[in-house]
Structure formats: C-alpha cells, structure tokens
Amino acid sequence: MIEKTLSIIKPDAVERNLVDEIKKIFTENNLNIKDSKKIHISKEEAAEFYKVHQSKPFYDALCSYLSSGPIFVMILEGKNAISENRRIMGATNPKDADPNTIRKLYGISIDKNSVHGSDSLDNAKKEINFFFKN
Ligand code: UDP
Ligand code: MG
C-alpha cells in the first residue's frame, strides 16, 4: 500500500549537518520526500507532539531535547512507507540497531538517536497534520 509517514531529523543530526545524507538514504530506499521544512519548535510544541509519552520517566528530557535546536521534518511517501521508514531508521537504541540503519550509522545514544518516524497509520496521519497543517 502506498502510504505517507512523518520523519523528523532530530537536533543531534541537524547540528552535525547530516540532513542531506539522511535524505539520500530515504530516497535510495524508494521513500520520496513529498514536503519538508527546517524548523525550531518550542518545548510546549514538543510536549504536545510527544504527548503519548507523557507518563514516561524520559518525557521531560525528550521534550527539552527535541526543542533544543533546529529539526528537519519530512513527509515520506512510498510503498509501506510507515514500516519501511521504521526499518531504515533502526531500533530506538542505536546500540541495538541493525547495520546500515540510520540510527546505527549516526545515532549517538538512546535519546540522541537522530531520527523520529511514525509508528502506525493513525499516528502518521496525526503527526503529518501536526507539522503540515494546510
Ligand atoms: N527515549 C529516551 N529514552 C528511552 C526511550 C526513548 O530518551 O528510554 C526517546 C528516544 O529519543 C526515542 C523517543 O524517546 O526516539 C520516543 O520513544 P519511542 O519508544 O517511541 O521510540 P521510537 O519510536 O523513536 O523508536
Ligand atoms: Mg515512537
């Protein structure tokens, strides 16, 4: 199924000028970038975006981190885009990520893991709408 999903290149990767390299990995894996923008969100916006994690011990640090510097947000489109993006990203903890995944290649730690990707069709719709409202 042709799907759309939301990808975020997080502050640690934007700061290391990895945007073009990461975009190339998506396009080489048949995920087309339909829209994109570089933005710097507030901690309140990060808290809204990551609301699903509000009961987790890492929530406050996660929101501070996502708002700590510019991020690059993208709508990716392609066959099975949601699961394909998750596969290309690799496991949440770069230490556990498969070889050649973005998180294995570029992730620094479980919190500074370079990319975000929607985890379901429902969340992909919500997350795309969060950043790309018309
Ligand atoms: N995270 C963290 N500590 C943890 C688990 C997660 O800092 O113990 C951060 C990490 O940046 C992760 C984000 O919270 O990407 C969202 O967690 P989730 O479990 O949804 O992982 P993801 O879907 O990003 O792989
Ligand atoms: Mg997640």
Q: Is 59 in the pocket of ligand 1 (CB under 6 A)?
A: no
Residue 28 confidence (pLDDT): 98
Exposure b/e, 28-41, CB count within 10 A at least 16 = b:
eeebeeeebeeeeb
Average pLDDT over residues 105-116: 98
Q: Which domain holds residue 101?
A: 2-131
The whole-number pLDDT of residue 88 equals 98
Give φ, ψ of 119 to 5 degrees.
-110, 0
- Domain at 27, CATH number: 3.30.70.141
Domain count for the chain:
1
32-39, strands of its sheet edge to edge:
32-39, 71-79, 2-9, 115-117
Catalytic residue among 46, 116, 127, 128: 116
pLDDT score of 38 more than 70: yes
Q: What is the pLDDT of residue 134?
A: 65
* AA identity, residue 62: L
Tokens found for residue 12? 């640690």
Residue 75 reports pLDDT greater than 70? yes
- Report the alpha-carbon distance of residue 128 to residue 115 in Å, rounded: 15
Please name which ligand lies nearest the alpha carbon of 89.
1
In 3D, which of 11, 69, 6 has the Cα closest to residue 40? 69
Predicted structure pTM score: 0.98
Burial of 24 (0-12, 13-18, 19+ CB in 10 A): exposed
Q: What pLDDT is stored for residue 133 in this prediction? A: 86
Q: What is the mean pLDDT of the chain?
A: 98
Arithmetic mean of pLDDT, 96-122? 98
Per-residue pLDDT of 13-37, as tens digits, reads: 999 999 999 999 999 999 999 999 9
CA-nearest residue for atom 15, ligand 1, is 92
User: In this structure, which residue's CA is closest to atom 19 in ligand 1?
Assistant: 92
Indicate whether residue 58 lines ligand 1 (CB < 6 A): yes
pLDDT reading at 98 higher than 90? yes
Q: How far apart are CA 63 and CA 122, in angstroms?
A: 22
53 catalytic per annotation:
no
Question: What digits encode the pLDDT tens for the residues 48-61?
Answer: 999 999 999 999 99
